[in-house]
Structure 1
Amino acid sequence: MNRNINTTVQSDYRPIDGDDEESTPLLGPMRGGNASLKSSVFNLINAIMGSGILGLSFAMASTGIVGFSILLLVVASLAAYSIHLLLTLCDQTGVTSYEDLGGRAFGRFGKILVACAILIQNIGAMSSYMFILKSEFPAAISGFLSPDHERGEWYEDGTILVILVTVCVVLPLAILPKIGFLGYTSSLAFFFMFFFTVVIVIKKWSIPCPLPVNGTLSLYELPSNVSECTPKLFVFNSKGAYAVPTMAFSFLCHTAILPIYCELQRPNKKRMQYVVNVSISLSFVLYFISALFGYLTFFDKVDSELLLGYDTYLPRDILVMLVRLAILLAVLLTVPLIHFPARKAVQMLVMGNRPFSWFSHSLTTLLLLTIVLLLAIFVPDIRNVFGVIGSTTSTCLLFVFPGLFSLRMRSDPLLSLPAIGAVCLVVTGVLVGLLSLSIIVVFWAQNS
């Protein structure tokens, strides 16, 4: 086990006796920051929610309303429980980072493994988000222009746009030294997601059911199969396998948990658990409402990316165009938040626990953003490439690592309730990871 880590935290370690730890301040070198409960909630919601919200209506169509509700509730509960384990371990040991928890549990190998998983996962997520911005921003801007406007302008070039937003928006936010400063932009991103949900609810009554045969509302022709407007409570088919990973990763925020915890005012387990419970609850509500009304709008015809259906039946609708732009802006404002844990992982791997340096901080920021930009610009199948890596690193960070760390560092017997819960997390992570990998392999085989 890493001696540097042990000498730092050993004197602060204490076993779990009961609930009295919940009011104990965070131990270790980090004594908290200036982030309020409100800004911490917004930061965590921003870390949870992303472009994945567009695929949840398809997930509901693939599993049924009740089936989707059960699965989403189970995933949210497992995510909250795995975060609870991380916070408990932090409170036990005084460790203040995910990487150091890996070191505390499995020595230097565990620390490096967790840091690499965070780095790969977050670089993949940032690259995928940048790829989305490069692909969708030109179309979103063109939607507000006249249909006969002259094509080929610079603002319709995705590469130029993604470089501009990186330099003008992402870089200034990413270079901030503390994650708590992003609370204002995270609140704006939450507003964009809330706006998206409200528009999905409103537009439910703008598209008739059954859907027009020819795809336009102006020449509406009633289809013969009216039964397609009946919502299904349970659905069992092969598409359900695609829905499970979508929901499983919809609450992945674990790389940002401990940085947010460390910068919370008067940090203790009880206050941070409140932040987690509020953030997951609000995310669950927005997820469920948007998925439900998206499904009730298109039923079995819902696209894997929800907004594509509105482009078909409500072309150039001002609210739909605004909500597409809002989602892109929310994705853009999520990138600096994802960047923070990635930069911290790099600095921990390269420089260890050296004091803060603006030079190394800025250099690491520029290097990471350059790598992300190059991947988004020059790798055309970036989401497929990181789909394989993400399915493994995501399940490890969300399920496997918290369970393993808890089993490694707890003194409870193996048949105790906490130990059984940790085992369930590990098993769930392995099953979801294998399912995700299998789906990606099948998808590649079908495309080839």
Structure 2
Amino acid sequence: MTTGNIKPTKEKKSRKSKPVVNEKSPLLPTKHEEDAAGFDEFNGASFSGAVFNLSTTIVGAGIMALPATMKVLGLIPGIALIIFTAFLTDASIELLLRFSRSSKSVSYGGLMGDTFGKYGRMLLQICVLVNNVGVLIVYMIIIGDVLSGTTSSGIHHPGVLEGWFGVHWWNGRTSILLITTLAVFAPLASLKRIDSLKFTSALSVALAVVFLVITVGITVFKLFSGTVLMPRLFPDVHDLASFFKLFTVVPVLVTAYICHYNVHSIDNELEDNTQIKAVVRTSLTLCSSVYVMTSLFGFLLFGDGTLDDVLSNFDSNLGIPFGSMLNDAVRISYAAHLMLVFPIVFYPLRLNLDGLLFPSARPLTSDNARFALLSTSLIGLIFLGANFIPSIWDAFQFTGATAAVCIGFIFPAAVTLRLVNLISNLICHQLSFCHLKESRFQFSLK
């Protein structure tokens, strides 16, 4: 046998030779046999498509509350915490991917199930439900604030449609959210593969950049005209209440980076899944840059008058040429961005609810009745929440302080400690066994 004509193969997994996980599998496998079931042939998602989908998962409503965190923390600690949280997120995702590879799990839920059993998997599913329902309610609240207006501290901030056409029943908050739900959310939420959303994800990232560019341009213009005051660089802590207020920003910062529930789904559809680490770091770098720029220039522009939802600030006279037009452009671009982000966050929400309620049922994509029932129920719940929860700050403090922290940091750390402990015990057991054999061998020689 000759070896001269044999070419070495690359250590690379191609999607053309790796089947894609069925829609039921990405977050919800219960054991390895289920992980391998329900696959179909798929050419694979591109690097850019994966980056757009993950970036869209990250850059959602959290960006609108970040300028308000600068008001609480000051610029220097605020920006430092944004960057620090990005590094923590990268580390936690790396832990998830590393142990998923070693345990051959193709999902976050599968890894939790392998590590802690079915109750660990169910706990993750519940946390994803709480987090994603809260985030999607925030999206709807912001869209309602932007298009139909909001009232904060007794001051009414008119929406775009209210400013254009006046107050009518059809541009009220409930009507606008109902129309948006039926015309935008429902059709996009009906797509059954996450890669099908790559074009809307790319457009949503572009709209977020449009929002950022306009905000930076307005702030720079006002800086040169001398109408921007020096912002507070550090927090104003003068009593116990102001000290405890500093901790209210933690849920916002945590929620801003939560994307862990979609990492495995994106990884499973990649043409070359060795690129997932590069996808994660590229997305985090892009999103961190957008977060820092938005926080900096948003707080510079509005100072201590920055609202919990900074979009609500763009309803006043900016004191620049075409100010009214720019206000509308900023608000409409970001409202459209959130409309396109909605389905990328809704995707894992529906999967987790299905896995929690119907763990032994056939794949969700093959049961149209169950798919429609879950989708309709979740959208209805989110719609009701958006009409009764008054502020995005209230929603962020609840979801960010509970489910988001668990998904992003507590569960990855728990998986790491659990598996490292199991490996250590196994090594100690093997060493003890070897030592026992050696002792018996020496005894037999005597």
Could you state the TM-score of these two structures normalised by the residue count of structure 2?
Answer: 0.76
**What is the letter of the counterpart of residue 265 of structure 1?**
E
The equivalences for 1:26-425 within 5 A come to 28-29=36-37, 33=42, 34-139=44-149, 140-142=159-161, 145=164, 149=165, 151-154=167-170, 156-207=171-222, 229-235=229-235, 237=237, 238=242, 239-267=245-273, 270-314=274-318, 317-352=324-359, 354-355=362-363, 356-359=365-368, 360-378=370-388, 384=394, 387-410=397-420, 411=422
Structure 1 segments unaligned to the other structure (5+ residues)? 10-26, 213-227, 415-448
> In structure 1, how many angstroms separate the alpha carbons of the residues matched to 2:295 and 2:143?
22
Distance 1:205 1:47, change over 3 A: same
**Aligned residue pair count:** 373
Shift of 1:384: 3.2
Name structure 2 gaps, 5 residues minimum.
1-28, 150-158, 426-446
Range that drifts further, 156-165 or 52-61: 52-61
Q: 1:32 to 1:230 in 2, by over 3 A?
A: farther
Instruction: Percent identity, please.
Output: 28
Alignment-mate amino acid for residue 247 of structure 1:
L
CA 1:188–1:357: 2 relative to 1, 3 Å: same
CA separation of 1:381 and 1:230: change in aligned 2, threshold 3 A: closer
Match in the other structure for 1:433: none
* Equivalent-residue separation in structure 2 for 1:196 and 1:86 (angstroms): 33
The equivalent residue for 1:417 is none
Which of 24, 28, 33 lines up with 1:8 in the alignment? 33
Equivalents in 2 of 1:68, 1:382: separation in Å? 19
TM-fit CA distance, 1:73: 1.5
Larger Rg: 2
State the shift of 1:400 in Å. Answer: 0.3
C-alpha RMSD of the superposition: 2.8
| Aligned-pair CA distance for 1:62 | 3.1
Secondary structure class of the residue paired with 1:230: coil
Q: Is the 8 A contact 1:32 1:262 kept in 2?
A: no
Q: Paired residue for 2:428? A: none
CA-to-partner distance for each residue in 1:88-115, whole Å, 9 max, x for gaps? 1221122122222221111111111111
